[in-house]
Chains A and B, each alone.
Chain A
Amino acid sequence: MNGFVYLSNVVTLELDSAKCKGCMMCTIVCPHEVFSIVHKKSVIVNRDLCMECGACARNCPEGAVKVKSGVGCAAGIINGLLRGTEPTCDCGEGGSCC
């Protein structure tokens, strides 16, 4: 079910295909099928499905993917605004909060 699309054209995801070696790591870690490998290179095929979790950038051995990752959560952003910090989910030691 990929029926959930959030806003279009807002995410900060960037892919430098010159650096990409086609290792497929980004396609493995992405929970929303944002990438696909075409001719041994990764391409962004579902940009608007990206939730900016940052898994791709952290796991690309070539440093070809960049994304400003963070919590896509209104409460977290409000928290950040109130404290003057980056958005942070303040779920303390809780469990299934964010």
Chain B
Amino acid sequence: MLADYITGSLTTTAGTVPRISTSWSIQDILNTIRVRWAIGRMNYKVEPGLYAVGNPHTNSDVFVTCNFKLTFDHVRKALAGMDAWMLVLDTKGINVWCAAGKGTFGTKELISRIGKVELGKCISHRRVIVPQLGATGVSAHEVKEQTGFRVVYGPVRASDIGEFMKHGMKATQEMRTVQFPLWERLKLIPVELSYGKYYLFLIPALFILLSGMNRRGYSPDLAVTDGLRATLNLFVAYIAGLVITPMFLPWIPFRRFALKGLLVGWVAALLLSRFHLTGVNLVEIVSWFLMIGGLTSFLAMNFTGSTTFTSLSGVQKEMKTALPLQIGMAALGVVLWIVSKFFAL
């Protein structure tokens, strides 16, 4: 069965090329939501190759993109009303930015794809438009040397393609820079939340089990009350690290993500202790500050992977001191928490 975005075909000197629609079907919209929420993120890809948008001719422009369907969808939507070609590279279903970093969206694949679809036969000019974020993997001068095609770097965001073309393929500084506004950060949160995977059940279960311990032996009642309290605290730490920190990122003091996370974690712990959720004896309270602080800090540091401004050298520098401290805090916290069990009652 043909994919629903293919509406027909176009015959060119290099064979037939599928023609695609520039609007999204209900299915496309539903799938976009599904992918954002990381449900069945695997395998959301399209067949690499050449596609036709509208009624392209030999002088129409060629837009290069990856075969992650979400990106493909955004690009074809941005091309609405134009007659253009879309050259889809095989990036194994990964978006342009990640694939360029890995090298799958790169010089080699672009050169070989230009050859495979016999692009030179379909068009008379020698120019391809590559999204700017692909530049990490694509070397424009090497592509030119080996294929004769000149690489023009288009805007970072597909939605700016229309403006970019209107201004004679000139991108404004704004189109060239990567931003990371609240909305972009919010969109990442669903994926972030799935980070814990099965630990999300395993760790609370362990805490509930251990909560029953006390000086007199084992109390199932305590396991329920203290265990649920522990689960709530852990859940708050998780949200503090994966939702609150990313959301308020620019407004939280400190540049280091680990410190940002620690601060948010401790504010959360402070709030919890106001409601006596971190226990009544001092040892348990301290243990919660250590565990929540360590966990939130670690999770916040992991958000560096989703940002668009942290450098490898920076993250390495930060982690060198932060990671041992986070592990130390969490470990000491767990020990103190177990110790505190034997103080009560």
Query: Across the interface, which residues of B come within 8 angstroms of A84, CB to CB?
Result: none
Chain B contact residues: helix, strand, loop or mixed:
helix
On chain A, which size bracket covers the interface? 35 or more
| Central interface residue in A69, A70, A73, A89, by most chain B CB within 10 Å | A73
Distance between B114 CB and nearest chain A CB, rounded to angstroms: 18
Chain A contact residues: helix, strand, loop or mixed:
loop
Using a CB-CB cutoff of 8 Å, which residues 64-88 of chain A contact chain B?
68-78, 87
- Report if A3-B302 is in contact (Cβ < 8 Å); known contacts: A28-B153, A31-B176: no
- Report if A91-B98 is in contact (Cβ < 8 Å); known contacts: A3-B250, A31-B156, A74-B319: yes
Known: A32-B178, A91-B98, A96-B187; 16 extra A-B contacts, CB below 8 A, are A10-B317, A29-B153, A32-B177, A50-B311, A55-B136, A58-B139, A59-B139, A61-B140, A69-B312, A73-B304, A73-B306, A73-B310, A89-B305, A93-B43, A95-B94, A98-B98
A-B contact pairs, 24 of them (CB 8 A): A4-B309, A7-B256, A7-B314, A10-B311, A29-B135, A31-B176, A31-B177, A33-B176, A51-B310, A52-B311, A54-B136, A58-B139, A59-B141, A74-B257, A74-B315, A74-B319, A89-B101, A89-B305, A93-B43, A95-B44, A95-B70, A95-B93, A96-B35, A96-B191
Question: Contact residues of B with A, CB < 8 Å?
Answer: 35-36, 38, 41-45, 68, 70, 92-95, 97-98, 100-102, 132-133, 135-141, 153, 156, 171, 173, 176-181, 187-188, 191, 249-250, 255-257, 301-302, 304-319, 323
